[in-house]
Amino acid sequence: SIVYLDGKWLPSDEAKVSVFDRGFLFGDGVYEVVMVYNRQPFRLEQHLTRLFRSLDQTGIPNPLGMHEWRFIIERLIDQNEGDQQSIYIQVTRGVTAQRSHTYPTGLVPTVFASSQSISLQKKDTRRNPPCSAITLEDLRWARGDIKSTSLLGSVLLKKMVAESGKDEGILYRDGIVTEGTASNVFIVEKQQIITPCVSDFLLTGITRDFIFELAARYQMVLLEEDISLSRLQEADEIWMSSSTAEIRAITELDGLPVGTGKIGPVWTRMAKLYQKHKSELF
């Protein structure tokens, strides 16, 4: 595939970064994952706005303007195959002369963007099958609101999930649900949809925001509230959301059925609305 690296368009195996790039040495960078449906980026503006916020929060200067970012993403989609793609965008603080935790001013951020085409089988109606989850203590850092490339916490948690043979980990801090290892979490209680409040401990998902818009448009009740572990266990439905997973029903939690153990009616409705509106720019 063709990737973008610091102003150049290259075959992926020719794109090279310095070993003194702070992204490599410290995970000192931020990123975004953007879906492409029918060759159109989904919610690009929102993803770029969040990228700018992550840059701002980490003090990495934004190397490009909105128009340049848009141009790069559009060109990346053009140069790669597949009607459905997932775009990866990463900005690191840049390259230094030697390894040091503190960084000098005036570094030039490293900008990388690539695209992966999404397989045909994932496009069919079984695209979002129900999945299983385990609960895990959230051992990541306290700034989950920044989409940072420092993902060791998530990697270790995902490893525990993989070893359990389940699909996703639902994380909690002091007994309160934060999010999934790479997704946001929702529950349904008597037709009402609940998701954790925005905080420093979780990422405000673009998919989460989209679900809020759909709920408002179709008069479905969606509230932001603390979700304790016992509330999670007693929920009628549990969902997870992310750009790549879209919205998925979790029908098994810690080896026990969620509600009836089958896909719930509120998820079914929301998932249909999601598919209906995801190619629409509203």
Q: State the minimum distance, in angstroms, from the CB of residue 96 to ligand PDD.
A: 26
CB under 6 A: which stretch of 131-139, 202-210, 212-220, 257-265 binds ligand PDD?
A: 202-210
What sign does the dihedral 118-120-122-124 (CA atoms) show?
positive
Which 14-43 residues touch ligand PDD, going by CB under 6 A?
33
Q: State the minimum distance, in angstroms, from the CB of residue 30 to ligand PDD.
A: 11
Considering only CA atoms, which of 208, 212, 167, 190 is closest in space to residue 266? 190
Q: Indicate whether 89 belongs to the interface with ligand PDD (CB under 6 A).
A: no
Rounded distance between C-alpha atoms, residue 64 and residue 60, angstroms:
12
Which 149-178 residues touch ligand PDD, going by CB under 6 A?
none
Query: Is 147 known to be catalytic?
Result: yes
Output DSSP code: residue 126.
Answer: G
Q: State the minimum distance, in angstroms, from the CB of residue 236 to ligand PDD.
A: 22
Beta strands of the chain (E only): which ranges? 2-5, 8-11, 29-37, 40-41, 85-92, 110-117, 131-137, 168-173, 176-180, 184-189, 192-195, 222-224, 237-242, 246-253, 256-257
Rounded distance between C-alpha atoms, residue 124 and residue 241, angstroms:
18
Q: State the minimum distance, in angstroms, from the CB of residue 20 to ligand PDD.
A: 25
Distance of CA 190 to the CA centre of its chain: 28
Q: Which of 8, 16, 147, 190 is catalytic?
A: 147
Q: Indicate whether 244 belongs to the interface with ligand PDD (CB under 6 A).
A: yes
Residue from 179, 189, 196, 238 touching ligand PDD (CB under 6 A): that is 179
Which 205-224 residues touch ligand PDD, going by CB under 6 A?
205-208
Which tokens hold the place of 37?
């449906």
Catalytic sites, residue numbers: 147
What is the contact surface with ligand PDD in residues (CB under 6 A)? Answer: 33, 179, 182-184, 203, 205-208, 241-244
